[in-house]
Amino acid sequence: MTATTHGRPRPLPGTEAAEHAPEAEILRRTLRRHAAGVVVVTVPGPAGFTATSFTSVSLEPPLVSFYLGRTASTAAAVRAADRFAVHVLGPQNAALARQFARSGIDRFAGVSWTAADDGLPVLDEAPAWLTARVTRRQAIGDHLLVVGQVDGGGGDEGATGLVHHAGAFAAAGTLRPGGGDGRG
């Protein structure tokens, strides 16, 4: 049994076609449709990685979080860090996002950054950034959740954000009032 969405058939939940796909694959396919902001997280070492799992947790106190695969090349550095920096990227930073997403390279090669007193790297070209002190780490599934209390930050409030959607980077934009993208 199928339903039609935008002219394409798709299996209905609970039907045979939906039940044959492993749940992890269903999750992957579905999340490709979810546009997410792109950041680079850095910790002393220096170490860093590109993430789309960054989110705010609370305003009082000011808490943010991100997830990292427990077997990621930067996982040991993240586990050892007392602080982290999150760099909110713009469309002009797509190459930087790709660089920090690659394994087996010096991700900081050719990147301009400034070290805080404790060695925390802050990337100079990020349109916005914040720093946080780790308040919690917890293994969840095959990932590590890291929560931190914001203790600094800065940036350009008018900057356009970089998003990741359907396997590619894109610029976040404002939709026209009342019309979305203009299609029916």
Q: List per-block mean pLDDT (blocks of 10 residues) for the chain, which spans 184 residues.
A: 49 53 81 83 96 95 96 95 97 96 94 94 96 97 96 89 84 77 49
As to burial, measured by CB atoms within 10 angstroms (0-12 exposed, 13-18 middle, 19+ buried), residue 94 is middle
pTM for the full predicted model = 0.81
CA dihedral 46, 49, 50, 53 (to 10 degrees): -110
- Cα–Cα dist 35/171, whole Å: 10
CA-CA distance, 149 to 44, in Å (whole number)? 17
**Do the Cβ atoms of 144 and 67 come closer than 8 Å?**
yes
Q: Which amino acid is at 148?
A: G
Tell how strand 83-88 and strand 47-51 pair up. unpaired
- pLDDT given at position 184: 42
Within a 13 Å sphere around the CA of 82, how many CA atoms are in the beta-carbon half? 5
Q: What is the pLDDT of residue 1?
A: 42
Q: How far apart are CA 116 and CA 132, in angstroms?
A: 12
Tokens 């007193």 found at: 117
pLDDT for 134 equals 98
Burial 122-151 (b: 16+ CB within 10 A, else e): bbeebbbbbbbebeeeeeeeebbebbbbbe
DSSP states of 1-13 as a string? -EEEETTEEEEPT
**What pLDDT does 132 receive?**
98
